[in-house]
Chains A and B, each alone.
Chain A
Amino acid sequence: ETGVTQTPRHLVMGMTNKKSLKCEQHLGHNAMYWYKQSAKKPLELMFVYSLEERVENNSVPSRFSPECPNSSHLFLHLHTLQPEDSALYLCASSQALTSGSVHEQYFGPGTRLTVT
């Protein structure tokens, strides 16, 4: 595997289900990100981890719960979602967030989530 991978690629879940999205990066990076992309809206940054510590949480509802067990893996745990949470969820990785660095991000293919 190369780059950033995400599983599953497609997910349909009911509002009472619990599911998890998985992201894995093979780029030797130390920062990982979750984004939400809804139709006709800009990419929204949800969570950022650098060196396995969460450094940003942009007022995301608690029904989304991130987990970063190590620098190569990132999870997004989902529970009690709403239909408006249906979107493309993208994972990205970069070098660690150290001052003075550029931190270009590389994206995975995304998980298309539909909440019914």
Chain B
Amino acid sequence: QKEVEQNSGPLSVPEGAIASLNCTYSDRGSQSFFWYRQYSGKSPELIMFIYSNGDKEDGRFTAQLNKASQYVSLLIRDSQPSDSATYLCAVNHEGTGGFKTIFGAGTRLFVKA
């Protein structure tokens, strides 16, 4: 089982729709969760982080965390063609084994104009 799992996509949505991106993780002790956007040929850009169960909203983006079910999701409202990119989920864990950040392989999103 992969430590951080994402559907590779591509996820295709029409302009103006809600895009829903999901991520599951295996380490129940994981503490903080991140969504990055990566355009082709560019480096990852932080969109949001979340560390408490529930929803966190920032503009058109909402992150949702459910630690009991070990999943985190990202909703993009009013999707725009400029949102077309690969979205990376990342999970931080700190403990007696040290610090680690595990990235998922990413979900490619395509927003059709």
What is the CA–CA distance of A109 and B34 in the complex, to the nearest angstrom?
19
The interface on chain A, measured as residues whose beta carbon lies within 8 A of the other chain's beta carbons, has a size of 24
Contact A43 B44 (CB under 8 A): yes
- Counting residue pairs across A and B whose Cβ atoms lie within 8 Å, the total is 56
Partner of A105, one of B42, B100, B101: B101
Contact B106 A58 (CB under 8 A): no
Q: Which residues of B contact A90 (CB under 8 A)?
A: 43-44
Task: Type the 1/0 row for A49-77, where 1 means its CB is closer than 8 Å to any CB of B.
Answer: 01000011010000000000000000000
- B residues 73-113 near A (Cβ < 8 Å) are 88, 90, 92, 94, 98-106
Residues of A within 8 A of B (CB): 33, 40-45, 48, 50, 55-56, 58, 90, 97, 99, 102-110
Residues of B within 8 A of A (CB): 4, 32, 34, 36, 42-46, 49, 51, 88, 90, 92, 94, 98-106
Q: A56-B100, A58-B100, A102-B49 are in contact. List 18 more A-B contacts (CB 8 A).
A: A42-B4, A42-B88, A42-B102, A42-B105, A45-B102, A50-B99, A55-B99, A56-B98, A90-B43, A97-B94, A99-B94, A102-B51, A102-B92, A103-B92, A105-B101, A109-B42, A109-B43, A110-B43
